[in-house]
Structure 1
Amino acid sequence: MLIRPARPSEAAALSALALRSKAHWGYDAAFIEACRAELTLDPDRIGPDRTAVAEEDGRVLGFVTLAGAPPEGELGMLFVEPAVIGRGVGRRLMGHLRAEAAALGFERITVDADPNAEPFYLAMGAVRTGTTPSGSVPGRELPLLTLHVPTPDS
């Protein structure tokens, strides 16, 4: 599996992957449609949001974004193709995110997590620090998590 920078031309395909991955959790079509705008990648943000894809044999398996500036960033999106959930793609993307964040001088990464993904992030070392309002569904609260980034020399 290769982790590489995403290309702006992949924005539509990555957005579609995000929606498929979100739907994996059993949300209905109306809920997924409510999330569409928030899960749509802007080609102009691919570079600034440090979007990276996991790829195998030319097929994109997942992607992650790291927004913000040191010392605190935000894991904006981490989505994995439903057919490969459980194969370690998310773990590899988190490893990439951590390494990149450490190299850039980030100390903390916040995550507005889907409740179904919270156990994954906790297993990756994040801690729950509160809740945050959903950007897609009024009145819905999401777990707010913080991942501390070790310094390169620690």
Structure 2
Amino acid sequence: MVDIVRATGSQAESFTALMHASSAYQGEYASILDGYSVTPAYVEANPTFAAMDGEELLGFYALLEEPPELDILFVADTAQGLGLGGRLVTHMFAEARSRGMRTVRVVSHPPALGFYLRMGARRTGTIPPRPPKIAWARPEVVFTIPHVRETLT
């Protein structure tokens, strides 16, 4: 049973390890993570949530509040294809809605674009490369946060 829980700063090192182990950021995409780490201060300052199977970290995401942006979303290679990414995005929708966000921007990893589009995001543009660390264009997408309609009684 995988639970999605509010993360703590003590998990930052585990988040960094999961990111650096990701096969999605090997080869040509490795440079973006070179020297990057999630810090305890980042986790404490931004709504960050961990997908946990007991003590095992299977994924996480971080939501920036101003302006609203899904800054990080990773699923462990061993948990790919199990629907966990979709669960994290659905959880993010609820968190964004509870914070009054109407949209959430994502600057996508190019291979993840299809996932975000399947989750309901719409493409809004392309972020140009920023060499030397980011040598490729990145798709920009936006989620419109679904709101629950109140029923009149």
Q: Does 1:77 align with 2:77?
A: no
Alignment partner for residue 50 of structure 2, among 48, 53, 62?
53
TM-score (norm 2): 0.87
Counting only pairs closer than 5 Å after superposition, residues 3-152 of structure 1 correspond to structure 2 as 3-21=4-22, 24-25=23-24, 27-28=26-27, 31-38=29-36, 40-69=37-66, 72-134=67-129, 137-152=133-148
Query: Offset of 1:18 from its aligned partner?
Result: 1.1
Measured in 1, the distance between the counterparts of 2:15 and 2:87 equals 17
Q: One-letter code of the match for 1:103? A: S
Query: Offset of 1:150 from its aligned partner?
Result: 1.8
* Aligned Cα root-mean-square deviation (Å): 2.0
Residue pair 2:31, 2:133 contacting (<8 A) in 1 also? no
Deviations 1:90-147 (A, max 9, x none): 1111111000101110011000101111111001000110011356734421000101
Q: Count residues with an aligned counterpart.
A: 148
TM-score (norm 1): 0.87
Measured in 1, the distance between the counterparts of 2:103 and 2:119 equals 14
Query: Offset of 1:25 from its aligned partner?
Result: 2.9
Query: Offset of 1:68 from its aligned partner?
Result: 2.1
Question: Among the aligned pairs, what percent are the same residue?
Answer: 30
Measured in 2, the distance between the counterparts of 1:82 and 1:149 equals 27
Measured in 1, the distance between the counterparts of 2:134 and 2:98 equals 36
3-state DSSP of counterpart to 1:41: coil
- Please, which runs of 5 or more residues in structure 2 have no aligned partner? none
Query: Offset of 1:33 from its aligned partner?
Result: 4.5
Deviations 1:45-70 (A, max 9, x none): 1022101000012211000000023x
Deviations 1:12-54 (A, max 9, x none): 1101101222xx13732x742542344x212111022101000
Measured in 2, the distance between the counterparts of 1:59 and 1:86 equals 17
